[in-house]
Amino acid sequence: MKTRLLILGLLSTVVALSGCVTKPYDYTNFRAHPPRSILVLPPLNESTDTRGTYGYLSTVTMPLAEMGYYVFPVVVVDQYMKENGLPGAGEMHQVPLDKIRDIIGADAVLYITLKQYGSKYQVLTSTTIVTAEGKLVDVKTGLTLWEGTANVQQSSSSGNIIADLVVAAVDQAVNSSTDQAHDLSHMANMQLLMTKDHGLLYGPYYPKEK
Amino acid sequence: MLFTGCQSPAVYYWGHYEDLVYGTYAKPDKFPPEMQVQTMEEDLHRAISANKPVPPGFHAHLGYLYFQLGKADLARQEFENEKKQYPESTVFMDRMLANLSKK
């Protein structure tokens, strides 16, 4: 961890926050059916990095809870579903809403799909990309309360070729054992869920302004 | 860690909760239930000292770990704690409690 922090500090890390800055999301459905509790299902992973589903899942609870929602315990839910015949994210995303209401009692379900997840190593640099789509669905009515996309990219290139060579070597050594896209998922999530006018609205546990 | 700077301070005492969630899947051999329980019990003490609530799911996760270790009474207590702190969890926690009584 220390090494990683040091390396992160040495690198001139370029974080590109893209995503469209268009008009605010239409929160009509969200305001009509404001959830108290959110069930986060393990994300569908469309990338080739098999670590995506759980590398991303483990970063979703904190932003949602700090935004004021009750978030169901992600590991307990995942294990419960597996024990009940749903081996993976694909099957879990197919569970009918009335079943979710009966078994979990959630107000809303957050479905996440990872369009991209992982690192690419070139000669001099590595690039890590996380692209996530999110959809929040009201359990009672089936209405989509919110949808959003986040795209976060991090590159280790500094522009100095000697420095880059050293960095690339260290990078590959360090990152072959760690999942950089997991670290980047924290940022992707904040962009996905917390961006003003495009993320979620605050929930019932969010502290009222004084 | 995440909620510093321009963000308002965190509502919850997070401790290692999300690290444990990650470790459960990424490095299961290094995150066995015994280790997770010890970490969470310590975090719980720190949360009480810091006078901050533990986040949603914390007690339920701890309860599930006790259940895995065969400590049904402690598991029951933690599922009840989750319900008490967050009534939104009632349906799911009642299901977990019912599972406990079955075994």
pLDDT digits (tens, 9 = 90+) for B54-70: 999 999 999 999 999 99
**Is residue A202 one of the residues assigned to a domain?**
no
**Is residue A64 one of the residues assigned to a domain?**
yes
Local structure of A34: helix, strand or coil: coil
N-to-C CA span, chain B? 40
Average pLDDT over residues A154-162: 70
**Is residue A12 one of the residues assigned to a domain?**
no
Searching chain B, which residue's CA lies closest to the CA of residue A40?
Answer: B57
**Rounded-to-integer distance, Cα B45 and Cα A173, Å:** 37
The phi, psi pair for A168, rounded to 5°, reads -60, -40
**Is residue A8 one of the residues assigned to a domain?**
no
Interface membership of B12 toward A (CB under 8 Å): yes
**Rounded-to-integer distance, Cα A36 and Cα A71, Å:** 9
Residue that has been written with the tokens 């001099």 in this structure: A124
Interface membership of A74 toward B (CB under 8 Å): yes
- Assess whether pLDDT exceeds 90 at residue A81: yes
Searching chain A, which residue's CA lies closest to the CA of residue B15?
Answer: A62
- Name the residue range of residue A34's domain: 25-194
Please report, rounded to a whole number, the percentage of residues in chain A having pLDDT higher than 70: 78
Local confidence band at A179 (pLDDT 50, 70, 90 cut-offs):
confident
The H-assigned helical ranges of A84-160 are 89-92, 97-103
For chain A, the domain total comes to 1
**Is residue A173 one of the residues assigned to a domain?**
yes
**Is residue A6 one of the residues assigned to a domain?**
no
**Is residue A205 one of the residues assigned to a domain?**
no
For A130, the enclosing helix (H) or strand (E) is strand A126-138
- What's the confidence (pLDDT) of residue A201? 97
Q: Which member of A66, A74, A179 has the closest CB to residue B21? A: A74
Q: Hey, which bits of B5-103 come out as E strands?
A: none
Closest CA–CA distance from residue B13 to any residue of chain A (Å) = 10
Please report, rounded to a whole number, the percentage of residues in chain A having pLDDT higher than 90: 69
**Is residue A100 one of the residues assigned to a domain?**
yes
At A172, which CATH number?
3.40.50.10610
Q: Which two tokens stand for residue B4?
A: 């510093």
Cα maximum dimension of chain A: 60
Local confidence band at B29 (pLDDT 50, 70, 90 cut-offs):
very high
